[in-house]
Chain A
Amino acid sequence: MTAMKVAVSTLVMTGLVLLVADGGTSVPWIPPDDRIADTQDTEPLTAWPVTAGDDKEIVDEYCVRCHSDRRLRGNLSLEGFDPDHPEADWATAEKMVVKLRAGMMPPPGVRRPAGDTLVQLVESLERRLDAAAARTPRPGGRTFQRLNRAEYAASVEELLGIEIDGAAFLPPDTKSDNFDNIADVQMLSPTLLDAYLNAAAEISRLAVGDPEATPSETTYTVSGYASQSERVEGAPVGTRGGISVVHNFPADGEYVFSVSFHHTTTGAGFAGQLARGQRLEVSIDGERVALMEVDSWLSYDDPWEIWMWTDPVTIQAGPHRVTAAFLKTSEGPPDDLLSPHDWSIADRHTGMAGYGLTLLPHLRDLVIEGPERVMGVSEHPLRKRIFTCRPTSPADEIPCARSILSELAEAAYRRPVTPRDMDGLMGFYRDGAAEGGFEMGIRTALQAILASPHFIFRFERPAAAADAGSESPAGPESRSRFLAVGAAGSDAPLVYPISDHALASRLSYFLWATPPDDELRRLADSGRLGQPAVLEEQVHRMLADPRSEALGTRFAAQWLRLQDLEKVHPDSYWFPDFHQQLGDAMRRETELFFTELVRRDGSVFDLYDADYTYLNERLAEHYGIEGVVGDDFRRVRYPDDRRRGLLGHGSIMTLTSHADRTSPELRGKWVMEVLMGTPPPPPPPGVPDLEETEAASEGRTLTTRERMEQHRANPTCNSCHRFIDPIGLALDGFDVTGRWRIREHGNPLDTRGELYDGTPIDSPAALVDALLRRPEPLLRTFTQNLMAYALGRRVEHYDQPTVREIVRQAASEDYRMSAFIRGVVTSDAFRMQQVDVTMPQDRTP
């Protein structure tokens, strides 16, 4: 608490000093504070300061012509804007900073001031805003987060060692600014509460085992887009297609495995008469338990439709890997009249294509039903993990239960347990034990832990409030203490540092997407986690830990919109080689690229211009890169500069395409929105889409570019599309699936264009070079996304000074990934909370 008090007051002091410097004197004065000194290091002195008044003239002359009260371009008027006090209209000022930094304003074709006038304008705006922020620290605030699907599953796995699918239990998460963990849109509802209750009931039964389990069924579905000719991950070698999952069996007993197959619209299974003798194997932990010959006449019109099922199989409780896959009886592409391809459902309308096309039966569902004839619950790893002690006499039961439950509760609640917590849980233990003995007691209490608000909500208490498990001093007294800190900062919003345990949770869900581990919890217990050196050391340790993979699979995946890959199903006629597994490999490539960048602590610039990526054989073949053998991903250097950084990834190219053609608009929009942070406005209504333009002319199919140019003849469209399209066109060398091409529909491609600033670009490499000439928008957009994900709230205009500060700091560390992450973690926004979360929009200091 004391340390934080100092920090806050330092900020206020520096602010005052800067105010003096800013308020009239033209002599640069270098304050002793480190923060400001760094600013000095990285910014040329010549650009500072601008005499008050100059900026106003520039704005009036070059901006207000369009952004006037009358013309109101972009719904913005700058007539009343005072660039000497940009903080008076902070949100607008930050919008200007973004556009100016990107070099997008004034727009192409409109008069611009000479030389570096605009650079000076934006630098002066930034400096004044940063100074205002230093005067009035505003860490921002939000209400508490709840565990979303992904965090819930990860937390359950960390706590109990049980793998579950969050989507099977919880409704989908509402996103805001593309992230699924933004607190203020995490609505609560009875449906949601019911889902958490139900999940707690199910998961506690699966973890402890349920000797009274009654038959139920679980369905695992295989996408119609999945290849049935390749082995799936986890399946035994020598199989192809199908599905492989870890299923949690609640009790020892008999289970039946049913499978169904995809069928054509007329009902026939995809086996057809042509692929006879196909056999499907069901295996448990790699051991065959059933082998079924697929009836090649299966049809939806049959009494049992397209279902087949095994005899009952006796299986012991616990997690087991279940695989249902076809036996692989041939190698290499089938010798078909039509070119072979991987996607076995070529065309759902005419699935029974006839001779010359090999159609393989395509698994749709694997359903596990059971248990029947329950024989009890055998020991298994999940149970061993929970039952850390076993009562040997009735007198042992209570102490043993107490020890098991306090350990579970501490991990689940991410804080020390209080006597009050234990009283509640032991109550549940007694209820359960009275009904069904010791194990049922533990299970019932575990169910309560999993359903409790302490587990599903991430409450963040102020530091010194409820830490170290003592909750008596938590109340009004400590609150008045942190309020006092805020009051000391005059008109500064009321801020307080969050407790060490809250900080531990923020850290671990940010970097690992899991609850804090023992070490973090111990440091929080001892109250040392908040110390800057300890915090930095922990960040270092956590980034080196394999769990930091979550930065790739959770943060980068959402920032880069990888989930949209699921929406695009490249047309099987044009792109017969694309299938689910290839799409998965693409996603994996991008996630791995990011994860490895974090692990190696490489430069953030690698995101944009890396000359390497991570590939397995299938993906390397897709990219036309030789010498990569096997399913494992490894680092591969690109043989040429067609591909560079993220813009060479198949994932990005595919998710920004339509099924049957590339979309320069979507790609341009993606670059502007995701990488540059300058999303183009959506099209106005009544505008026909590209589909309205003719697809063919003079007897030949037009290229996407030609169709686009027709579309762009409309001046309304052109005012935005001249920003968007050239960017996308430069990437048009990648087809719908991210494969390199030089022709489209037989016509040579023309990817030439001019970036909005006039730079000629015609290839991904040229685009990347042009973008990198202005790195600020890229770095700030990355930082801003990282911050939003870390904080669980949208990044607002008053956060921009922090974003700039993080980027400045990172510059002195070669833009290494860790510098950005550390910058976020050590920021006030991450370590503190503002009491008044709904601040008035624009406050004049």
Chain B
Amino acid sequence: MQHPRERRRGMSRREFLRRSAGSAVALPSLAAVLAACDRPGETASREQINLLVPRPDSPVTLPMNGEPIPTDTPIEQGADLQIFNWVDYVWKAIVRRFVEENAEHDISFSAVTTFNNMEEAVAKLQAGEIEADVFFPTIDVVPKLAVAGLLQPLNHDLIPNLEQNVWDVYQNPYYDQEWRYSVPYTVYTTGISYRRDVISDDEIYGMANPWEILWDPSHRDRVGVYDSYRDTIQTALLKAGITDISTGDPEDLGVARDELLSMLDVVNPRATINGSYKRLPQGEFDLHLSWSGDIAAGWGYVPTYTRDYYENLGYWFPEDRRGPVDNDCIAIPANAPHPRLAHEFINFMLDFENAMDNFSWVGYQPPLNDAQPALLTETEGLYSQVSGWAEPAEYVLPWMEAAVVRQSDFDVGYRQAPLSPEADERWNDVWQQFKAGVTTGG
């Protein structure tokens, strides 16, 4: 072994050649190392981004993330069904029924893992913190999760109820053509819930533009909107007569911003998530922006469970049905521990009886062929039947017939399509201005 100092002394020609060759080999690998040190963060191609902003007039077919599970996959034995869902968005009695029906497979169910908003849910799925069999995404999240490889494609043979029972409009939805990753769970319209002891049906339905009632100073301090930027900003757009509720046009959004700031001035609205289904029935609001399913479930939150009290709850939606109409979904995460059981559960939830019983508790209607509008306002739901403390309530109270969603609503109504990142940024700017509560005075 040479002394280190000796080694530094000069270099033979052979050694020089050898070392040069070495560098020639080393240089590309150095480049690779440098590339690995490149700016962190993924990049997405234009095609990928385009998949994330489907529109009813430009539907997307999401790329297949592997193959669906084979049809002959046996149901997992002894599985504990993992449900990842919004709070109070599935009736546990129905889940328990599913467990009983699958007793032969020794399955169990302990609790629903819940999230408070989609961002939280997506972050948890992305981080792999949650291993859920079924997940309940909104339509804007389905393409994102599919493109990011966080959902698994569905095996249609294992979900025969979709084709059999579900509305035609959902056989091939625009946000997930061929329903590769999602099935519809519920449908809803977005209108206004109101206290009929304060505002009569004739008053609100008689208005030339009933959206304006949310700006009526005579209801100051008694008005609520959703703490959800898409729903509240779209209300301002609709009030101003702009019907493209997925617009990215800065001018449209400027109009919406001005409308919302004037709303702050005039009525001091509160932004809530439980305002319509819970706090309006309890008398805290006269008016609230409302998803039809929220107010349909409102009778379960009144202070006195009598028909007389139920009559205080009302729902307005445009009579020509030109208003926001949408749906939520069920999907199976890519890392689902029991994918076969998940398919079974989805098929179970699309069964007419199960879906209707779940509807009676959740308030959100399933898009099923047999769920005829007349039936919904005339039949008492299971939850009402088993609620010994409450006077009977139909799926949808008869005087709130406007809260029933019809398949034809999807022909004339407005869809809340996902936004491009740029448009989303503009929507968020408007929302922040509203939430900052900076009024122009008055």
A binds B: no
User: What is the interface of chain B, defined by CB distance below 8 A to chain A?
Assistant: none
User: What is the interface of chain A, defined by CB distance below 8 A to chain B?
Assistant: none
